[in-house]
Amino acid sequence: MASEQPNQRRHVLPPDWRKVAWDALLILLSPLLLIYLLGRLVRGKSLQGLRERLGFVPLAARNLDRPDEPLIWIHACSAGEVGATEPIIRELHQAEPHAHVVLSTITPTGRQVAQTRKLEVEALLYFPLDFPGISERVLDALRPRVVVVAETELWPNFFAAAAQRGIPVCTVNGRLSDQSFPRYRLFRRLTRWILGHLEFICVQSELDAQRFLALGADPDQVNIVGNSKFDESFPHVPPEGAAKWRQDLGFTQEQPILVAASTHPREEELVLACYERLRATHPDLGLLIAPRHPERGDAIATLIGEYGYGCRRRSTQAAGGEPAVAAPDARVQVALLDTIGELGEVYSIATVVFMGGSLVNIGGHNFLQPMALHRPVIFGPHMHNFRDLTGMALREGAALQVANPEELCETVDRLLNFEADRQLLAVKAEALLARNTGAARKMVDRIVDLLERTL
């Protein structure tokens, strides 16, 4: 018997003052959005995905939901969330081989990561703006059976439109950072109403659970299952693969290499200053900088030249051009990985990894990939976006944290001098990874149960 499509199961919901207030606020703020978009055009910035964000669904994502082939919509805001959905998508295909999966992102970088990793999804799209009418248009076009939202994406209009259509929404890898929690708490009555639309919330830790409960989530909604980032398919790079990366990036097969990963503005300068100091005692030390946003490559290449180094750019090499740009009297070439999707393998050449976004107040980035390749990891004091991972790694001695650039230099110097210290970090990191797998399977069990209730 054919099942009724989700957009035919309309629920007549009484008007809610919180939705009315939210919509009124959005309408009042809409001129600011227009000014922002015009500003991006004037500055030559990309408006990539704007058409989809306004509710125009790509053809590849339409008409996928069928009685025996349900559509599951997964939303992951940016690159980090996309990576964490990879094991969830893999487990979903094993549990529901006939299901179709579409993935939405908000940032172009997130979309590029999804394309580079070749995730098993039927279509990629940009998440709609949370304006009245837009969410409804997209849900009616896609007709998903279930919507899965990663981490902390709370969209009042979207959730309300899904509820009106009888489409269950759930959250996986749920977390509330030290910065976002106080902001949500200021609007607790609105947040409680938004959370009420969720079928369940799979959170990463006890602290996240307590924070969701403090915002008004029902205790029956909240489940502590861990973090699917531990279940990612981390790259396996054989020795010959690492040797090829060294050659391509201009390093010898013997020299030690400091990899500064996912760096942000002002951080590259701190790393280069540290590198200057380290070369006094480690003259053969190589440096690779991999910025979080590769489009900053030109500015970073200029900065590298100001330090008197040549810059070997991966983006130029990948495009078939001359990778090395000589600087006057260049003493050494610093490699710049200004591409997307290659850093996971490039970690294999690192002697020491510094994880960026942590010396400046960004909140840090995911450091599990270099750990999986048995590379020692150092990060700075600002790791609040990865509070739980950071706490686990530090408690178990699987990573090192420094307070400032001075300590970074000292710690890198010590690790370069003592191979036993590097090996101990690698062993403890491997144990940490092994003990924390399985969260993706638990999340998928809940999703499948939710899906079966819609059939």
Give the CA-trace dihedral at 204, 205, 208, 210, to 10 degrees: 140
5 vs 144: CA distance, rounded Å: 9
CA angle 148, 151, 155 (to 5 degrees): 70
Radius of gyration of the chain (CA): 23
Q: Are 378 and 354 spatial neighbours (Cβ–Cβ below 8 Å)?
A: yes
Catalytic residue numbers, as ranges:
81
73 vs 146: CA distance, rounded Å: 6
Q: Where do runs of H (alpha helix) occur along 118-238? A: 134-142, 156-164, 180-186, 188-195, 206-214
187 vs 406: CA distance, rounded Å: 41
Burial class (CB in 10 A: 0-12, 13-18, 19+), 31: exposed
5 vs 145: CA distance, rounded Å: 8
For residue 138, which of 426, 83, 130, 8 has the smallest C-alpha distance?
130
- What is the distance between the terminal CA atoms of the chain, rounded to a whole angstrom? 10
For residue 163, which of 188, 192, 139 has the smallest C-alpha distance?
139
Paired sense of beta strands 310-313 and 324-325, if any: antiparallel
Give the up-direction half-sphere exposure of residue 397: CA atoms within 13 A in the CB hemisphere: 7
Q: Dump the DSSP string for 309-350.
A: -EEEEHHHHHTTS--EE--TT--SEEEE--SSS-HHHHGGG-
**Strands of 324-325's sheet, edge to edge?**
324-325, 310-313, 333-336, 286-291, 257-263, 352-355, 377-379, 400-401
Segment holding 298, helix H or strand E: helix 297-306
Helix 206-214 to helix 387-395 angle (10° resolution) is 150
Q: Are 22 and 191 spatial neighbours (Cβ–Cβ below 8 Å)?
A: no
